[in-house]
């Protein structure tokens, strides 16, 4: 079994000053079965690159959005997710380190080689669009964070 580590970003922004609704940045890609799926931006960590640097770079490359990490706990990361899949007849044990992020500025365009579309969705819309179990875990986790942010009236700076 081969091991791979990726890093990615869950980019969110408030839709109103009242912090009552958020939107999530998602990408549409083709999976290994050539099916179109909506997911969150992520990718491999390059040599001499930290997980955080890789996550920020991947979000920028895949979406065109320059972002910053939004720290909500003692860790910089939001969640580490582990899963297995088969690629070219080989089993891959995958670890993805997810970071919660807020957008700073639109700094470019999506990667046309990898990404079909980039769009903002409400968490409810995102829940209907995601297929991967790991993305569903992230959305469930976000529901709790959303409540915490609202209770503390905390807004990304």
Distance in angstroms (rounded) separating the CA atoms of residues 134 and 97: 11
Q: What is the Cβ-side half-sphere exposure of residue 147, based on CA atoms within 13 angstroms?
A: 5
| 39 within domain boundaries | yes
pLDDT greater than 60 at residue 146: yes
Total structural domains within the chain? 1
Q: Judge contact between 10 and 142, C-beta under 8 A.
A: yes
For 21-29, what is the mean pLDDT? 92
Q: Judge contact between 118 and 106, C-beta under 8 A.
A: no
Residue in the block written with tokens 């079909």:
116
| 23 within domain boundaries | yes
Q: Judge contact between 124 and 142, C-beta under 8 A.
A: no
Pair type for strands 79-87 and 22-30: unpaired
pLDDT greater than 70 at residue 123: yes
| 156 within domain boundaries | no
pLDDT band at 153 (very low <50, low <70, confident <90, very high): low
User: Between 155 and 89, where is the model more confident?
Assistant: 89
pLDDT digit string, tens, across residues 75-108: 788 899 998 888 888 999 999 999 999 999 998 8
| 79 within domain boundaries | yes
Distance in angstroms (rounded) separating the CA atoms of residues 8 and 99: 6
Residues of the domain holding 93: 2-151
Point out which residues pair with 46 in neighbouring strands: none
> What are residue 18's phi and psi, to 5 degrees?
-80, -5
Q: What is the CATH number of the domain that holds 129?
A: 3.90.79.10
| 157 within domain boundaries | no
| 117 within domain boundaries | yes
pLDDT greater than 80 at residue 148: no
| 20 within domain boundaries | yes
| 95 within domain boundaries | yes
């Amino acid at each position: 079994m081969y091991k791979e580590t990726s890093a990615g970003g869950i980019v969110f922004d408030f839709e109103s000053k009242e912090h009552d609704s958020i939107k999530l940045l998602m990408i549409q890609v083709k999976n290994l079965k050539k099916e179109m799926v909506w997911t969150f931006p992520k990718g491999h960590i390059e040599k001499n690159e930290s997980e955080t640097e890789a996550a920020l770079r991947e979000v920028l490359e895949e979406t065109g959005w320059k972002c910053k990490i939004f720290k909500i706990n003692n860790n910089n990361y939001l969640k580490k997710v582990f899963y297995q899949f088969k690629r070219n007849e080989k089993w891959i044990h995958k670890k993805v380190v997810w970071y919660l992020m807020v957008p700073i500025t639109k700094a470019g365009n999506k990667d046309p080689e990898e990404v079909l579309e980039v769009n903002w969705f409400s968490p409810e819309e995102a829940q209907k669009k995601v297929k991967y179990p790991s993305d569903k875990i992230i959305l469930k986790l976000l529901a709790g964070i959303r409540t915490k942010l609202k209770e503390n009236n905390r807004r990304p700076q």
